[in-house]
Structures are given as structure tokens and as C-alpha cells.
Structure 1
């Protein structure tokens, strides 16, 4: 029986192999190639390569620079640590620049009430360069302005001229409190004249010039800054230096000089500076800044006071109006109240980004101002 079964199995294998013709072999090779081309290579999964696909929201933007411009403000008030901390960004450098140009012109022809043709121009810049990292805060503020007016029958006269450079370093001691140190330099660009006494002055009629006078304040203390609208800087140790680097003006009594030929007067005392900003309504703010200085060495009861008030009105992106009032009393210079008032309507261009965060998406939206 076993012999018969083995014989039958041999016959089946022989005849089945005989059925595989060359035609069947061609079909099998085509099928095999198709399988090889579409099949998965299991061995290739041993070293997989992951491709990162970048996605971005339509309303988002990436700031590649490490320099970010602080929020646009319609006023010239300084940036404070509180305003930096409230920004929707983790950048360290902040820049904000404000450039203003004001023109005035009047022309008369057969005008019964009379008048004098004149044209005037006034340019101002105000830049804040701020660094904020962890507890460290560095503020650099540069303010400069120069104005001229030319009238028929009169020489060109200066209407405004100032240089104000301030640097302040703060270290956060506690919430809203900072250890504060820094310096301030004040002066002017060109000679100044008393046009009431010399209507057509020459250079020899000058009563002031660059660094005559010039002021340097250096101090150490602390500051309190609970919000961007209020700041107090108190420096119990503050040096005030008055420079008069013009021999013609180095006479006793001029700018507080104590003797003829003196080019530098040094004072040591305490300084208090208060900043308070009021938002009257949309696009209208009033900035108050007052500074007190008391000399420890001579007549500490005679306190130097300097107040600056600035009303800022913004009509649109470029047109602004600024009304400023500055009052100063320094017993050593002149025992009277010094006052300066200016009104300007002109073009203002703010350099930088205004940072805003979308309330719905949380995305920062900067735009050139």
C-alpha cells in the first residue's frame, strides 16, 4: 500500500511541474516586480528620518531681532521699569524714538493792523534706549531741540536750544523698588543772547554757549515705580556740578559761580525727582515732572526746584500738538522764578514698533508707526 501511495505522489508532482511553461514564468516575474515596487521595506524602518513641517498662524509674526521697540506713546515721558515689565515680549533691548518738526510762518501786505513777516522752524528728538534683564534695568534717554525764527528787519534769533542726556541704572530690590544710580548732562548747542538789550547781537554779546553753562548730576539712591504713570527717584547722595567753560562768562554771580575765573562749581546734596502722568482722554496726556535738590554744604534750606509740564495732543498718526511749561528757581543763579512756555503744532514721526497683543489669539502684532 505504501508503495502505491508513493508512486501516485511522484506522478502528481511530475505532471504539475510540467504545467509551468515559459509564459507562466513571465507572468510571475512581472507580478514580483510590481510587488517589489509597491511593497514596504521592513528593513528601512530601522533608521527612520523624521521631517519637521513648519506651521504658522496667519496672523502671527516672528521677531528675529533681539532689539524690540517699546510701545508707542503720544507723549515724551520717559520709559519706566514698570512699563517695560508690562510689555508682551521677553526681549531685552527696547528702543523708542520720537522726531518732531514744527513750522511757523506769517506774511503781511498792506495789512492795516501792521505786522512783520517771519518764518520759524523748531526740531526736536527724544530717544529712549532701554535694557531689561532679570533684575537689571538700564535706561538711556536722549533729548535735543533747536529752533530759529527769522523776521524782516531783524537778525535770525534762537527760540529753543537744549541738550539733555540721562542714563539711569536700576537693580530690583523688591516689587516696584529699585536701587538707582546714574547721571544727567545738560547744556545747549550755540551761543545765547539777550535780544532785549542787544537787538542785533554779535558773538561778543553772548550770555551763554555750549557748556557755559553745562550741568552734570551724578547720584546714588533708590526708585519706586508701581506703574507706568508714577515714578519717584530719591538720591540721598547726589553731586551737582556746574561748568562755565567760557572765560568771558566766568564772573561771580553768573550761574552760581562764587569767584571770578571759576570754571567749575561742585555741590553735594540730596535729589528728589517725581514723575506723574495723567491721561485726560484718548490721545491727550499731561506729564508732570518735578525735581528738587538741596545742597548739604551751603544753605540746605535753599532748595533748587525745576518743574516741567507737558500737554500732548495727538490728532492723527503724524500731526501732534505739544504745550509745555518749564519753571525753575535756583537761588544761587537768580533770586527770581525762571519760566519758559512753548506751543508747537507740527509733524511727529515715531520710529519703531508698537507692540500689541490680540485679546483673542494672544498673538503679538507689531506695526511701523
Structure 2
């Protein structure tokens, strides 16, 4: 009985070993086929082929609708040709808008030091709409601002009011040099008053209003723009037109008018515009812009000077402080320096496309 049992166990062991071997062969065959299909052919590395990858000068992303993200687009300040023309895509629209709203309010009740209840609001909008193809570009900039303050016992008073529309066409002549031609329109929304002379003015006390004055500059020349922080525009042929369309204000001497009843004054001369942006630190930018104009036809030694400075301090995505200083000297208007200064802390909201890089992964994320 023991011999029979031993023979049975030996036969069972041989049969099972044969089955395991067959199964192992099948498994090995499958594994080999998978390796052959996915494995790297090491012999092919002895003769590598280099694929040419187009180099991109700056980080950018092209969207399907031809809108692109401009590096640094979220920063305050004018867009220069260098920023646009260094982008790699052949055809693009760039749209960016910055809107800000500033509130200030004071209220007093039984306050020994005294005071007057007041509330003030200033709203500003700044939009860039740019088209670029090959060496051509068209830059449109719209700047609007209006503000007022209302105090107990006083009429509502205007604190800021301007319309500034600029269009500029450019063509790249050589590295950093561009043909430049375009126009600029300046005016205001509502009537202005001299509150020192008329503390409680009526409409007949106005000293200005829309298109009284209004300014139009047209010119052609060249510009030098080595980077996005510096630009010089020289227009040796530039027309400056001053409009006063309010008959009450068409008085000789007002806004450079030469005679009573004159509605427009034309000047032909040369214009130089210089832009210089300084990044003080990460969230602080100081933008300087100065404009010079001299009249060929009369008193060319009298140079009109217009300076605008803007200090932008960004606390976070929405809270921004803006300090502006505007100074102007125009001998034909008044032989004194004109100055305007504003300080605002409020909400800033950006519309359009801009660029944001993930600090952890380095991936650029576009968002609207």
C-alpha cells in the first residue's frame, strides 16, 4: 500500500511540474511581447536626430481668438512698442483695462475739535486696445476720470475731471526705432468753477466745460523705444489745435485765444514726449511722462511743458494707492505754473487678459 501511495505522489508531482512549466512559458511570452512593444531601442541612440524648436523671446500664450497675454500687463503705466513688438505671435489683439474707485468720508457729532461732514468719490478708467501684425502696430489708449466731494453747507464740488484719448500707429524701421504718427484728444466732462471766487457757483459762473477747452494734437515723426520702461517720441511736424466752443468763454486771452469770438486756435510746431517707468520694488511703480511743444509760427522760444507723474502702490489684487502729480506751463494761457495733485486709496479691478505664473510649478496660467 505504501509503494502504491509513493508511486501516485511521484506521478502527481511530474504532472504538476509540467503544467507549471507550460504556464510559465505563456507568461514569459506575453511579457516579452510587451517589452518589445514599449522598450527603448538602445541602438537608435547612437545616431540621434535633433529637432529644431523655435525659441520664444518672452513668456506668452496665444489664445484661439487671437487675444494674447502680454508680460507685465497687470502693471500700471502706458504700453510701449517694445512690449508689443517683442511678442512672438504674428497677429494679435491686446486688450487691458484698469478701473479704480476711491471713497473718502468724514462724519462729526459733538466733536470739540470741529469739522464738516463730507463724502467724496473718484472714479478712473484706463484702457489699452492694441493691434499688432508683423512690424505694424496700432495702439489706442483711453483714460477717463471724474471725482466730486459733497460737504454739509456747501454745493457739490468737482475734484477731478478729464478725458484723454490717444491713438498711435507705428512701423518698425530698425531695432528700437519706429515710425510714429497719431493723434491725442483732451477735454473734460462737465463745467468747472473757481470755488475761491464763487463758493456757491451757478452755471453762469463756469470757467470751463466740455470742449471749452478741448485740445487736439496731430503729428508724425519717429520714436526710440529700447525697452518697455523708456521711450522717446520726436515729432518735428506736429499740429496743436485748441477749441473753445462756449461763446461765453471765447474771450481774448482765455486758453490762448487771440481775439474775442475765436473758437479755435491752430499752432504748428515740434513735439517731444519722454516716458520713463521706475519699478521701486515688487508692488510699487513710478511712471513719469513729460511733453514739450514749441510753436514754429510764433514765439518759438516759449516752450509748453506738461508733466505727469503717477506712483502706484499695490497692497493686494484689489486694493491700490495712487498718488498723481500733474504740472503744466503754457505761456499763452497763463504765465504761471499750473499744478494738480491727487491721492487715492481704493478698489482697483482689472478687465482683460493678463499673465500669472504659478510660483510652485512655474506654469503660466491665463485667466480672465
TM-score by length of 2: 0.80
Deviations 1:19-64 (A, max 9, x none): xxxxxxxxxxxxxxxxxxxxxxxxxxxxxxxxxxxxxxxxx98722
Contact 1:95–1:130 (8 Å) recurs in 2: yes
- The CA distance in 2 between the partners of 1:103 and 1:358, in whole Å, is 33
Moved more, 245-254 or 60-69: 60-69
- The alpha carbon displacement at 1:69 in A equals 4.7
- The CA distance in 2 between the partners of 1:366 and 1:204, in whole Å, is 52
Contact 1:70–1:95 (8 Å) recurs in 2: no
Contact 1:97–1:351 (8 Å) recurs in 2: yes
Deviations 1:278-304 (A, max 9, x none): 000010010000000000000000000
Deviations 1:223-277 (A, max 9, x none): 0100000000000000000000000000000000000000000000000000000
Shift of the 75–251 alpha-carbon distance from structure 1 to 2, 3 Å rule, reads farther
- The alpha carbon displacement at 1:214 in A equals 0.1
Shift of the 220–61 alpha-carbon distance from structure 1 to 2, 3 Å rule, reads closer
- The alpha carbon displacement at 1:74 in A equals 5.3
Structure 2: runs of 5+ lacking an equivalent: 1-59
Note the aligned Cα RMSD (angstroms). Answer: 2.0
Moved more, 162-171 or 73-82: 73-82
Contact 1:169–1:180 (8 Å) recurs in 2: yes
SS of residue paired to 2:208? coil
The equivalent residue for 1:132 is 132
- The CA distance in 2 between the partners of 1:72 and 1:171, in whole Å, is 23
Shift of the 361–100 alpha-carbon distance from structure 1 to 2, 3 Å rule, reads closer
- The CA distance in 1 between the partners of 2:211 and 2:151, in whole Å, is 28
The equivalent residue for 2:203 is 203
- The CA distance in 2 between the partners of 1:347 and 1:325, in whole Å, is 20
- The CA distance in 2 between the partners of 1:336 and 1:298, in whole Å, is 19
The equivalent residue for 1:152 is 152
The equivalent residue for 2:142 is 142
Structure 1: runs of 5+ lacking an equivalent: 1-59
2:144 is equivalent to residue 177 of structure 1? no
Contact 2:61–2:69 (8 Å) recurs in 1: no
- The CA distance in 2 between the partners of 1:193 and 1:86, in whole Å, is 46
2:312 is equivalent to residue 312 of structure 1? yes
The equivalent residue for 1:20 is none
- The CA distance in 1 between the partners of 2:93 and 2:105, in whole Å, is 40
Query: How many correspondences in the alignment?
Result: 309
1:314-329 mapped onto 2 (5 Å cutoff) = 314-329=314-329
Moved more, 331-340 or 88-97: 88-97
- The CA distance in 2 between the partners of 1:358 and 1:86, in whole Å, is 23
The equivalent residue for 1:271 is 271
Contact 1:74–1:312 (8 Å) recurs in 2: no
TM-score by length of 1: 0.80
Shift of the 118–356 alpha-carbon distance from structure 1 to 2, 3 Å rule, reads closer
SS of residue paired to 2:365? coil
2:199 is equivalent to residue 215 of structure 1? no
- The alpha carbon displacement at 1:78 in A equals 1.0
**Which structure has the larger Rg over C-alpha atoms?**
1
The equivalent residue for 1:246 is 246
Shift of the 205–329 alpha-carbon distance from structure 1 to 2, 3 Å rule, reads same
Contact 2:329–2:337 (8 Å) recurs in 1: yes
2:167 is equivalent to residue 167 of structure 1? yes
Moved more, 191-200 or 64-73: 64-73
- The CA distance in 2 between the partners of 1:237 and 1:62, in whole Å, is 38
The equivalent residue for 1:230 is 230
- The CA distance in 2 between the partners of 1:238 and 1:363, in whole Å, is 46
